[in-house]
Chains A and B, each alone.
Chain A
């Protein structure tokens, strides 16, 4: 056991965050260097950790908060799945954000909170106890709020209020659930199954409902999703953070922990809670897709698409069966790669070509070919077109549902894919096949100017290629799918 490494990995985000807050506004070099340096160092450390955990080493750090109440950082394979995703996307999002915000104000505050968010996300992933999870979960809420209101205009402030209106009651519900359960059985660690048989079934069901409500806010389960589309007022790098790197993922990840590591999927099923949770997830999938169809604002359409896609993870977690679990957990990574691509591209369209609405996309494909291609790969992946990542997730979810004896899920997946196609394909059609309006520059040497700077274009291209690669190479031993299979074999094998 090695206790220092998890702390170091959190420090790679936490230290840049704390230092960045105190940088003067013109210390751009320091700010960028610190944040990029932290991100690169983090990826290196996470890579090392992947090798160690793959070989079966366990890392754990324990720190006493109050008598009997410990902050525990524990690195298992599931934690690393999440951390690897967020570390890789943090680097790309930082590059993107530096290009996006070039020359604007309040950047020390922005990057400080941005890195703090990533530190909190890493903490969530590494949490070894419920209390540790709660500490980082709330740190995440607190550090995302200043990012949501970053612009400081009325729309952002109202989005921030909406965000708090959902997350604060959510956190109260989560805290109530944790304290209620822990006052009966003592502090709950994820590694040892809690002695829940001492608690009566009604209490267990109520507490589970509180957990789902508390964590479901971040996972954007219907009807707790309202904050996510509203948060579109925030700048594009923040959307990437909310939708792919940190926030909604933290919710989905938390539900996976509660179902598998606090209750255990068998107990959840025995209490009659697994199918209702799967229903809520299915409802969210269909509702999110249906609402996405109605949106004319690109970012809002993407936001409702997130509502829908994140619940694939929840659905996989709620279905009792190894293949469905694999499908759900691997979607944590797959959705992250695809959705971050889409938001990066939407931000580039908005910044460079002032395109915010679906109908304004006409003809942008040939004028911003790199961005539009990346967007197309992300969108096709979301629909589930092979061999892009999304197909792999849906395939495993479908087979897993049949294995778990829940064939209705296949119907949900088919319906959702049809809806995905109907809200994404028109975008692709407009981008590539419709003539451009006269407001866009004619094709020629000037159009190159649209795809600049490199920092705005390279990150989506990289994530799009990654989304393609993890699908194409799903069978290879270093793919997210292989890692997820390892998680399920190691921890959730029935």
Chain B
């Protein structure tokens, strides 16, 4: 392990601190809060670059905060997984805050909500990075809790009755999830005497208490990730929030609790994972893929459709558990399920944020987001239509896109480990995604309705239209440049990612 205050350590600390400072700055600046991203964006880009460069050079870094080593102190861990998601968060946050600057924040300038959005988004940003970088299960609780509160507030931002109801429902799920997680963490502490992930891995032994602890934490994290059947809170919350908030919520927030779950089983507790764990989590993931897609098919509003699609897409992540270690070193893409699932998380984040931001532009222009009323939009807002198209390609897992490479890696892991059933689910999920996404794209290309209503708002500026397009293009480009993220994800990946659970 490296000594404190090297590049990676400093970057890790700043990755958490800078966004929090941004949140404070937003509160102080008030009406001019929209400009905070002009500083935090480039600064965080430097931080993310330093973090990646640091761990590529010296390997995963463990930073003892305050100089106390665990179990006395708490640790930040900068590994490839953390760096990958810190970078993804940067891309999504920068896009959401940049687009909100000319839209949401400007529109709400006269109210407190405008700069509340900037502050809350920065708060969520810091919390997300804290989650990705924590090496301690209690720290993770605190970070997740902070993230949950910021997320709930983002849902409630517009203060309409239906979004308040959605926020309250979300709060119930999130808080119950936190309590379950906390209860599990306490039990685990009573057995292992530590909450440090690396130490837990060495101390955990199979016992009934440990299993209960693991089960409680898993249930809590699943509720926060909106894994089927604990997904009911997600669509109204994500679809009801203002679009830049939806982008943050749908692209990033569920990924945080998923990363914790992955760390919990693959890093902290691989020794006590029972053979049933993989099929159980994978089965719920598969159910989420199919059920979420079928529900998405039935949506008549764009934002709701995009939200239901998130439930389905989250399902793919959970196939990591049965497929981890699939090809067991015999193939050049060993640990394909690990790379595949995480890459899916990244490309989904980019594509989903692009979709929500594009949907927000559509909503601002038309005054509604009914899919049946989108005819002719490809002519009126070509860049936005293009962004929706590119994002859809990634969500369907079609080449050339990051979604495709992710799916390919997961599929190979499934076939190579003789678990073809998961492959069938993934292929079926891709078809269902095409089934619910292509009608939207078809609408965009269709002729305008003869009795078209007047647009509700002015056309967005080209610069704002370019933001979702850029994010979607990034998701597609990921398909051509997967070598780097997969190499990054391999730095400090847990042994169980290569060997599999059991």
Choose from A66, A150, A152, A172 the contact partner of B427 (Cβ within 8 Å).
Answer: A172
Per DSSP, are chain B's interface residues mostly helix, strand or loop, or mixed?
A: helix
Q: From residue A85, how far is it (CB to closest CB) to chain B in Å?
A: 24
CA gap between A104 and B393 in the complex, in Å: 28
CA gap between A66 and B403 in the complex, in Å: 12
Per DSSP, are chain A's interface residues mostly helix, strand or loop, or mixed?
A: helix
| Contact pattern, B 25-41, Cβ under 8 Å of A = 1, otherwise 0 | 00000000000000000
Is B442 part of the binding interface, using a Cβ–Cβ cutoff of 8 Å?
A: yes
CB contacts (< 8 Å) of B442 on chain A: these are: 149, 157, 160-161
Is B250 part of the binding interface, using a Cβ–Cβ cutoff of 8 Å?
A: no
Q: From residue B84, how far is it (CB to closest CB) to chain A in Å?
A: 14
Is A298 part of the binding interface, using a Cβ–Cβ cutoff of 8 Å?
A: no
Is B291 part of the binding interface, using a Cβ–Cβ cutoff of 8 Å?
A: no
Q: Is the CB of B333 within 8 A of A68?
A: yes
Choose from B399, B415, B420, B486 the contact partner of A134 (Cβ within 8 Å).
Answer: B399
Q: From residue A59, how far is it (CB to closest CB) to chain B in Å?
A: 20
* B389-405 interface with A by 8 A CB criterion: 393, 398-400, 404-405
The answer to whether residues A152 and B447 also contact, given A21-B386, A66-B483 and a CB cut-off of 8 A, is yes
CA gap between A153 and B449 in the complex, in Å: 10
CB contacts (< 8 Å) of B438 on chain A: these are: 145, 160-161, 164
Stretch at the interface among A180-188, A312-320, A347-355: A180-188
Nearest A residue to B481, CB-CB: A65
CA gap between A135 and B423 in the complex, in Å: 19
Is A109 part of the binding interface, using a Cβ–Cβ cutoff of 8 Å?
A: yes
* A55-95 interface with B by 8 A CB criterion: 63-69, 71
Is B339 part of the binding interface, using a Cβ–Cβ cutoff of 8 Å?
A: yes
CA gap between A205 and B367 in the complex, in Å: 55
The answer to whether residues A176 and B430 also contact, given A65-B482, A69-B333, A109-B382 and a CB cut-off of 8 A, is no
Is B434 part of the binding interface, using a Cβ–Cβ cutoff of 8 Å?
A: yes
Q: From residue A148, how far is it (CB to closest CB) to chain B in Å?
A: 10
Nearest B residue to A179, CB-CB: B411
Choose from B333, B400, B447 the contact partner of A66 (Cβ within 8 Å).
Answer: B333
Q: Is the CB of B398 within 8 A of A179?
A: no
Choose from B375, B408, B434 the contact partner of A179 (Cβ within 8 Å).
Answer: B408
Count of B residues near A, CB < 8 Å?
43
* A157-209 interface with B by 8 A CB criterion: 157, 160-161, 164, 168-169, 171-172, 175-176, 179-180, 182-184, 186-187
Q: Is the CB of A149 within 8 A of B405?
A: no
Is A131 part of the binding interface, using a Cβ–Cβ cutoff of 8 Å?
A: yes
Nearest B residue to A64, CB-CB: B483
| Contact pattern, B 265-285, Cβ under 8 Å of A = 1, otherwise 0 | 000000000000000000000
Q: From residue A218, how far is it (CB to closest CB) to chain B in Å?
A: 15
Q: From residue A153, how far is it (CB to closest CB) to chain B in Å?
A: 6
Count of A residues near B, CB < 8 Å?
43
Is A105 part of the binding interface, using a Cβ–Cβ cutoff of 8 Å?
A: yes
Is B416 part of the binding interface, using a Cβ–Cβ cutoff of 8 Å?
A: yes
CB contacts (< 8 Å) of B447 on chain A: these are: 151-153
Q: Is the CB of B487 within 8 A of A67?
A: yes
The answer to whether residues A135 and B400 also contact, given A172-B427, A172-B430, A175-B411 and a CB cut-off of 8 A, is yes
CB contacts (< 8 Å) of A482 on chain B: these are: none
CB contacts (< 8 Å) of A183 on chain B: these are: 327, 331, 411-412, 414-416
Is B332 part of the binding interface, using a Cβ–Cβ cutoff of 8 Å?
A: yes
Q: Is the CB of B486 within 8 A of A139?
A: no
Q: From residue A463, how far is it (CB to closest CB) to chain B in Å?
A: 30
Choose from B408, B412, B445, B479 the contact partner of A146 (Cβ within 8 Å).
Answer: B445
Is B378 part of the binding interface, using a Cβ–Cβ cutoff of 8 Å?
A: yes
| Contact pattern, B 358-400, Cβ under 8 Å of A = 1, otherwise 0 | 0000000000000000011011001000100000010000111
Q: Is the CB of B332 within 8 A of A149?
A: no
Is A488 part of the binding interface, using a Cβ–Cβ cutoff of 8 Å?
A: no
Choose from B332, B430, B446 the contact partner of A67 (Cβ within 8 Å).
Answer: B332
Is B100 part of the binding interface, using a Cβ–Cβ cutoff of 8 Å?
A: no
CB contacts (< 8 Å) of A180 on chain B: these are: 415, 420
CB contacts (< 8 Å) of A187 on chain B: these are: 332
CB contacts (< 8 Å) of B65 on chain A: these are: none
Q: Is the CB of B415 within 8 A of A164?
A: no
Is A412 part of the binding interface, using a Cβ–Cβ cutoff of 8 Å?
A: no
CB contacts (< 8 Å) of B339 on chain A: these are: 66-67
CB contacts (< 8 Å) of A182 on chain B: these are: 412
Is A142 part of the binding interface, using a Cβ–Cβ cutoff of 8 Å?
A: yes
Q: Is the CB of B378 within 8 A of A109?
A: yes
Q: Is the CB of A179 within 8 A of B412?
A: yes
- The 29 sampled A-B contact pairs (Cβ below 8 Å) are A21-B382, A64-B483, A65-B483, A66-B405, A66-B408, A67-B486, A68-B332, A69-B333, A69-B405, A71-B480, A105-B379, A106-B378, A135-B399, A138-B398, A139-B400, A141-B398, A142-B393, A151-B447, A152-B445, A157-B442, A157-B446, A161-B438, A168-B434, A169-B431, A171-B398, A172-B430, A175-B411, A180-B420, A183-B416
Known: A66-B408, A157-B442. 8 other contacts (CB 8 A): A21-B382, A66-B333, A69-B332, A134-B399, A164-B438, A172-B428, A183-B414, A186-B331
Q: Interface on A for B, CB 8 Å cutoff?
A: 21, 63-69, 71, 105-106, 109, 131, 134-135, 138-139, 141-142, 145-146, 149-153, 157, 160-161, 164, 168-169, 171-172, 175-176, 179-180, 182-184, 186-187
The 6 residue pairs across chains A and B that have the minimum distance between CB atoms: A68-B332, A183-B415, A152-B447, A135-B399, A183-B416, A66-B482
